[in-house]
Structure 1
Amino acid sequence: MLTQSAKDGFDTLLMQSLKTGMAPSGTPVEVSVLADDAGIPEKKMVVLTVSSYLFRLMAMFYFTPDAATRAHFARINNIAEAEMSEQTFMDAIAESGNLCCGILNRDLGNFFPHIGMSTPNVIDSNCAAYLQTLNCQHVRHFAVDMDGSPRFHVTLSVSAYADIDFAVSAEELGSDTGELELF
């Protein structure tokens, strides 16, 4: 149901959103594709869903609640690490996932009408073992590397409810996080 061009398009748009949303402005981010999820060590994940009438996309942002991860999200949010409560830390991680999926949602809007996005949910990373029960037509695992930060991992899964074919060009890639729209 998903053409190779559509799979590449979902991958490209997610990779671009990770480069924009996972690091402080101006920090170089390298996103690479992993062969499988065997090397993903993180213990928790933030899960978000982007859906339309034609597909359901899940993005799973893995993390370990340790000092290095806390320092990264404190830096992104311009908060002193010592001032981050456990709730502030979890909110920062969820907001980073929300930002990435918001960028992805916006960019997918160039191809699909009527797209919606869920709120972030933090769950145990062992839940990813049940991903195959969703009958996904496309699953891809990514590693996200930034200077001075731990390596993060992200899994993309897409379930299609119709034939989907689209191609992403440089013009469709968002270069920033956008501005807040008021309705």
Structure 2
Amino acid sequence: MLSQSAKDGFDLLLTQSLKNSLVPSGTEAQILTLTESADFPEKQMVVLTVSSYLFRLMVMFYFSPNDATRSHFARLNNVDEAEMSEQTFMDAIAESGNLCCGILNRDLGNFFPHIGMSTPNVIDKNCAAYLQKLNSQHIQHFAIDMDGSPRFHVSLCVSAYADIDFSVSAEELGSDTGELELF
């Protein structure tokens, strides 16, 4: 039900969103598409859903609550690492996931009407072992490598409720995070 062009489009839109939300300003990053599922070393994940009448996609951001991850999110949010409480740290991770999916949601709005987004949920990474139970038409895993940060992993899982075919070119994508919309 998902064309190869649509799968590539979802992947491209997500990787662009990841670059705009998880990579600190002035930092070089490389996002690799992993050819097969791996048992990622991170301990937890933030899960967000973007849905329309035609599809549901889930984005899972894997992380370990350790010093290296804390340092990355402190740098990303321009705060002193020592000033980050446990709650501030978890909020920073959830907000980065929220920002990423917000960008993805906005960009998908160019192709699909009536798109909604969930709030971030932090769950144990072992829940990812059940992704196949969702009967998705597309599951893709990514690794994000950045200077001075640990490697992060992200999974994309797309379920389609109708035939979906759209194409996206990298040249069409904006590089900003957008503006706040008030309703």
Question: Which interval holds the TM-score relative to the shorter structure?
Answer: over 0.9
User: Runs of at least 4 residues of structure 1 off by over 6 A?
Assistant: none
User: Which deviates more, 36-45 or 54-63?
Assistant: 36-45
Query: Which string of whole-angstrom CA distances, capped at 9 and with x for unpartnered residues, describes residues 58-78 of structure 1?
Result: 000000000000000011111
Aligned to 1:3: 3
- In the TM superposition, 1:57-136 aligns within 5 A as 57-136=57-136
Aligned to 1:180: 180
User: Which deviates more, 66-75 or 20-29?
Assistant: 20-29
Distance, in Å, in 1 between the alignment partners of 2:102 and 2:48 is: 10
Code of the residue aligned with 1:32 in structure 2: it is L
User: Which deviates more, 47-56 or 29-38?
Assistant: 29-38
Distance, in Å, in 2 between the alignment partners of 1:55 and 1:180 is: 25
Code of the residue aligned with 1:6 in structure 2: it is A
Distance, in Å, in 1 between the alignment partners of 2:56 and 2:104 is: 13
Deviation at residue 23 of structure 1 after TM alignment: 1.5
Aligned to 2:12: 12
Distance, in Å, in 2 between the alignment partners of 1:37 and 1:171 is: 29
Deviation at residue 39 of structure 1 after TM alignment: 4.4
1:24 is paired with a residue of what secondary structure?
A: coil
Pairwise CA RMSD? 1.0
Unaligned runs of 5+ in 2: none
> Could you tell me whether the CA contact under 8 Å between 1:49 and 1:57 is conserved in 2?
yes
Identity score, percent: 80
Tell me if 1:168 matches 2:155.
no
> Could you tell me whether the CA contact under 8 Å between 2:49 and 2:118 is conserved in 1?
yes
Distance, in Å, in 1 between the alignment partners of 2:36 and 2:150 is: 19
Code of the residue aligned with 2:139 in structure 1: it is V
> Could you tell me whether the CA contact under 8 Å between 1:110 and 1:172 is conserved in 2?
no
Aligned to 2:147: 147
Aligned to 1:32: 32
**Count of residues in correspondence between the two structures:** 183
Aligned to 1:42: 42
Query: Which string of whole-angstrom CA distances, capped at 9 and with x for unpartnered residues, describes residues 15-44 of structure 1?
Result: 110111102122222100112232411010
Unaligned runs of 5+ in 1: none
Query: Which string of whole-angstrom CA distances, capped at 9 and with x for unpartnered residues, describes residues 144-175 of structure 1?
Result: 01100000000000000000000002354121
Distance, in Å, in 1 between the alignment partners of 2:73 and 2:110 is: 30
> Could you tell me whether the CA contact under 8 Å between 2:12 and 2:170 is conserved in 1?
no
Distance, in Å, in 2 between the alignment partners of 1:112 and 1:17 is: 17
